[in-house]
């Protein structure tokens, strides 16, 4: 899987670089703590390993020696469940899921609903006709509706849902067919052009900071995109996350994915704020976006406009369902992609009677590491060949990659190692925020963050 990821990223096929993996357990796979009927642990090691290999390549491209790359598989497994281990002042950091975000039986199968955000929760209730007893009345109303019809109704109401399908049904549908054969991700190196050179890392940067001095603008939300930029921050990049001021992130996800980043608020519907954003982009090395395809175009962030205004800029764009096919404009989350693509069917613990789930939100986390890997490879090509590269990733494409590596024999499932073994608490104005530290080492130097999560919107929208 690591070779497949590296090939998708158009990494040099003859590169002898290797990844040293330690911490495996048993015959079930290198990352056995993420065991199950699919190669979840192997996906975790492969995607994290791809990011580390791309980081080492960037270190060399910026004039350094080639670092030795290593990762502990048990550490990766804990990092892929990082949201479970966040603590604030020793206590809980909040719930990860709203009770409405669950599988429920329909008239002809199952459906996964999503209500973590208030507007998505309200959309589900609208699609069900505003049950008079609120969420308590949802199961009975869902049970009376066919799954796909209810899925369509929730989407039409502005919400998120996915009927349970098996892998064959997914591939037979229009969206699965649109993605089949597309591969894990798109990576377009672009044409060589005159771009500002990438300087060597600033003095004082360690071997584990090959991205030091580089600027990453983070226009992502929820888990996958913020995980990717969290990795880049751990590699030394200056990451500025930009959000709309009235669209607060869930507290748990903010704390989990916020270490190492600054945070600014901009309202892109405001012309002055759009101009501020484009001034930021003038000095940005990589723009990472995590919104539905086309939704940022009205703000001057379409590929054509970006190429014209900011020809030096590398981009990585994330979507749930891909940038082609009838579902390209749908909202989506890891749990919904697991349901629609057939992962939840394959992961069933009782032969398909009830849906199952992966042992981690591996589509989110795996795609996040692929985002980081794509950004690092783009920076390498800019340093070596003056190319502005562009990558596209999607949760559904990561899901289809994972399904290609399933088998009929469930892997053994030992418990995850103690999270405390891999925890850190960098200084944060939000209290003592304990999080899982980033996995991997470069030349024996562990990755890490200089600071913990900040107060949302507490930074000015400027580069230091």
What string of pLDDT tens digits covers the 464 residues of the chain?
Answer: 999 999 999 999 877 678 999 886 543 445 456 877 888 989 999 999 999 999 999 999 999 998 999 999 999 999 999 999 999 999 988 877 888 899 999 999 999 999 988 889 999 999 999 886 777 889 999 999 999 999 999 999 999 999 999 999 999 999 999 999 999 999 999 888 767 778 788 888 899 999 999 999 999 999 999 999 999 999 999 999 999 998 788 899 999 999 999 999 999 999 999 999 999 999 999 999 999 999 999 999 999 999 999 999 999 999 999 999 999 999 999 999 999 999 999 999 888 789 999 999 999 999 999 999 999 999 999 999 988 999 999 999 999 999 998 764 455 555 667 788 899 999 999 999 999 999 999 999 999 999 999 999 999 999 98
Which H helix or E strand runs over 338?
Answer: helix 334-341
- What CATH number does the domain located at 2-95+184-325+357-446 have? 3.40.50.10540
Spatial neighbors of 403 by CB under 8 A, at least 6 apart, are: 38, 167, 341, 342, 343, 346
As a whole number of angstroms, the distance between CA 139 and CA 249 comes to 27
- Provide the b/e sequence for 276-307 (b: ≥16 CB within 10 Å): bbbebbeebbbbbbbbbbeebeebbbeeeebe
Tens-digit pLDDT profile for residues 91-144: 988 877 888 899 999 999 999 999 988 889 999 999 999 886 777 889 999 999
Residue 282 per-residue DSSP state: H
446, HSE (Cβ side, Cα atoms, 13 Å): 12
Q: Where are the domains of the chain?
A: 2-95+184-325+357-446
Q: Global pTM?
A: 0.94
Tens-digit pLDDT profile for residues 188-237: 998 887 677 787 888 888 999 999 999 999 999 999 999 999 999 999 99
CA 2 to chain CA mean position, Å: 17
229, HSE (Cβ side, Cα atoms, 13 Å): 36
């Amino acid at each position: 899987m690591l070779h497949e990821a590296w090939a998708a990223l158009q990494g040099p096929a003859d590169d002898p670089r290797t990844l040293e993996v330690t911490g495996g357990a048993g015959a079930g796979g290198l990352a056995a703590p993420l065991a199950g009927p699919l190669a979840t642990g192997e996906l975790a090691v492969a995607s994290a390993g791809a990011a580390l290999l791309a980081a080492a390549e960037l270190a060399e491209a910026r004039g350094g020696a080639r670092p030795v790359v290593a990762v502990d598989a048990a550490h990766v497994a804990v990092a892929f469940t990082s949201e479970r281990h966040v603590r604030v002042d020793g206590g809980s950091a909040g719930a990860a899921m709203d009770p409405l975000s669950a599988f429920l039986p329909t008239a002809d199968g199952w459906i996964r609903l999503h209500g973590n955000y208030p507007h998505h929760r309200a959309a589900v209730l609208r699609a069900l006709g505003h049950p008079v007893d609120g969420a308590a009345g949802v199961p009975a109303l869902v049970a009376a509706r066919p799954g796909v019809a209810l899925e369509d109704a929730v989407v039409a109401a502005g919400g998120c849902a996915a009927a349970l399908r098996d892998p064959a049904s997914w591939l037979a549908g229009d969206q699965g067919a649109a993605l089949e054969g597309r591969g894990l991700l798109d990576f377009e190196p672009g044409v060589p052009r005159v771009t500002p050179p990438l300087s060597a890392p600033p003095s004082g940067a360690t071997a584990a900071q090959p991205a030091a001095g580089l600027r990453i603008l983070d226009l992502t939300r929820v888990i996958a995109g913020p995980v990717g930029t969290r990795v880049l921050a751990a590699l030394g990049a200056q990451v500025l996350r930009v959000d709309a001021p009235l669209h607060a992130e869930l507290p748990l996800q903010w704390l989990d994915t916020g270490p190492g980043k600054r945070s600014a608020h901009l309202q892109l519907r405001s012309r002055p704020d759009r101009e501020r954003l484009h001034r930021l982009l003038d000095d940005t090395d990589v723009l990472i976006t995590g919104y539905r395809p086309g939704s940022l175009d009205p703000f001057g962030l379409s590929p054509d406009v970006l190429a014209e205004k900011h020809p030096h800029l590398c981009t990585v764009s994330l979507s749930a369902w891909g940038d082609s096919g009838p579902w390209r404009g749908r909202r989506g989350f890891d749990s919904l992609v697991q349901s629609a693509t057939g992962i939840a069917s394959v992961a069933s613990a009782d032969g398909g009677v009830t849906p199952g789930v992966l042992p981690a939100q591996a589509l989110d986390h795996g795609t996040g590491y692929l985002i980081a890997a794509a950004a690092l490879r783009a920076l390498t090509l800019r340093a070596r060949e003056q190319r502005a590269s562009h990558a596209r990733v999607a949760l559904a494409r990561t899901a289809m990659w994972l399904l290609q590596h399933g088998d009929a024999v469930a892997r053994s499932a030992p418990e995850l190692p103690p999270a405390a073994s891999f925890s850190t608490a960098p200084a944060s104005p939000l209290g003592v925020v304990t999080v899982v530290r980033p996995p991997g080492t470069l030349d024996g130097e562990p990755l890490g963050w200089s600071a913990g999560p900040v107060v949302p919107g507490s930074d000015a929208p400027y580069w230091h």
